[in-house]
Amino acid sequence: MNIVPLGERVLLKPRQKEEKTKGGIYIPEAAQEEKKEGIVVAVGTTKEGHPLPLKKGDLVLYGGYSNEDFKIEGEKYLLIEFKDILAKLE
């Protein structure tokens, strides 16, 4: 299925949380830090029709509380506003 975000929105696949430390110790769910990182799956356009400065595969930090989350074929995705993208990780 191909999803194309409309307007200034970005489709993200949330990044998995670390389940164990580099030393091999498993971290219980209650102690796992909730990082808001995601991988860009698709990008919409600006109001003028120009592409947003992200591309498929970019790793980003995001914030905000108005995220739409849903599952497609068992995979979790987020549809967020571009203004909620805080940074691109390189």
d(CA 42, CA 39): 9
- pLDDT tens per residue, range 4-20: 899 999 999 988 765 66
For residue 42, the Cα-to-chain-centroid distance in whole angstroms is 10
pTM of this structure? 0.77
The larger pLDDT score, comparing residue 64 to residue 30, is at 64
Write down how long the chain is: 90
Mean per-residue pLDDT over the chain, rounded: 84
Domain boundaries, the chain: 1-15+34-44
Q: Which of 19-28, 39-48, 64-73 has the highest mean pLDDT?
A: 39-48
d(CA 19, CA 28): 7
Query: What is the arithmetic mean of pLDDT over 32-46?
Result: 83
